[in-house]
A and B are shown apart, each in its own frame.
Chain A
């Protein structure tokens, strides 16, 4: 059974800092991995999608890396802004016999202060 752990659980930083959000998952048989953000009371917004054959993806100030064999992914946020405040979710998509199933952790709650 896939389990996802995100560290830290919560992070509060001043504006402008470079951030590292860590994710680990127990089953490396994944098809891909997505990073989402969720604003309070809102749905999930996809930030980055990394295929299992890829090592990283970049979009603007965001960079996500994937080490499938060790079950780790990291989201880097450069020059953080108050608008980055949200919950960040690392979500692996299962491969193999559980094809397509998503597993959610508790996420990292990020607060960026002006």
Chain B
């Protein structure tokens, strides 16, 4: 069965520090991968998605970047965090062409920038 792992679960970082959040998927190949952010009391916002290794699409301009160095690995990064980067970050995957096209989300990372 397919599983999605996301870490760390919680992170407190000072303003100006770097960030690296990792997401990996098991039990499938060539997944579509996504990074979402949920600000306090608000809905989910799509940040990045990837349809293959090295292919990254950005939905909104921001202080963050994403990379996909391997088929089932998706990394969210920042060189210098801002207070406004605080939020709940969720990774998700879906298998396009596998019939169901359902999305599966990871357990999330709570990021607090102080």
Contacts and interface: CB of A to CB of B under 8 A. Distances in A.
B32 interface: yes
Given A43-B90, A44-B90, A104-B43, A32 B101 contact: yes
B37 to A, nearest CB: 11
Nearest to A48: B102
Interface residues of B, number: 21
A101 B57 CA distance: 12
Nearest to A103: B43
Interface residues of A, number: 21
A49 B90 contact: no
A45 B103 CA distance: 10
Contact of B43 (A31, A42, A93, A105): A105
A36 interface: yes
A34 B110 contact: no
Given A42-B107, A104-B43, A32 B94 contact: no
A42 B94 CA distance: 19
B94 A100 contact: yes
A42 B38 CA distance: 11
Interface of A: 31-32, 34, 36, 41-46, 49, 51, 91, 93, 100-102, 104-107
